[in-house]
Homo-oligomer: A and B are copies of this chain.
Amino acid sequence: MNSTDKATVKAPTRRSRAVAAKRTAILSAALALFSQYGVHGTSLDKVAEGADVSKTNLLYYFPSKEALYIAVLKNILDVWLAPLRALREDQQPLEAIRDYIRLKLEVSRDHPQASRLFCMEMLQGAPLLKGELEGDLKRLVDDKSAVIEGWINQGKLAAVEPHHLIFMLWATTQHYADFSTQVEAVTGQTLNDDVFFNQTVENVQRMVIEGIRIRE
């Protein structure tokens, strides 16, 4: 900590802002590289270069590569979970799910690196996130499963296992970020193309919604 300035804690000084900016620059460069080459495939040299700082300086802000990686993961977890947090029982279920799909596809379009890094961590068994998964995430999913269960009991939704519905929502929306290379190879298009984005939103919404709608 900076002992020369007692006001550091309250009002951010010019210096502390510069420090914060450097931290975010490093985190951003790390996310870009980790998500493409993996943690082991990325050297601190490259991260430093991407953030325009020296490697030694980087290690001043983050004491080790693992510490940096954990910081990156913590940063993106919120973005990733935000759409699910937004699900609430007082909404109309089909509208809520329609909204969720659009939101999550926006995340896939606007934060593909976060999505991919998260996926990569999961593939490896989530050694650094296992705690969060079994704690916070499980609670969140249990909570939202109860919401879905409620909708089903009110006859507003077809009887499906809530967990599997949540997995389907996750899988179908993330796919466009995580497998964007494949999507592009096959369709020749990207979510960044507005027409393709809207077509994707509508198709995913329709298939999922029709699959869980109640019919008379």
A→B interface (CB under 8 Å): 35-41, 116, 119-120, 122-126, 130, 133-134, 137-138, 141, 158, 160-161, 163-168, 170-172, 174-176, 178-179, 181-183, 185-187, 199-200, 203-204, 206-213, 215
Contacts and interface: CB of A to CB of B under 8 A. Distances in A.
Contacts of A181: 122, 125-126, 130, 133
Contacts of A203: 160-161, 164-165
11 contacts: A36-B123, A36-B125, A40-B40, A41-B124, A122-B178, A130-B181, A164-B200, A166-B186, A168-B204, A207-B212, A209-B211
A185 B132 CA distance: 10
Nearest to A188: B138
B160 A170 contact: no
A98 to B, nearest CB: 13
Contact of A160 (B133, B167, B207, B212): B207
B123 A182 contact: no
Q: Chain A's interface: helix, strand, loop or mixed, by majority?
A: helix
Name the residue in A133, A167, A172, A212 with the highest tally of chain B Cβ atoms < 10 Å from its Cβ: A167
Given A207-B160, A207-B208, A36 B124 contact: yes
A102 B215 CA distance: 26
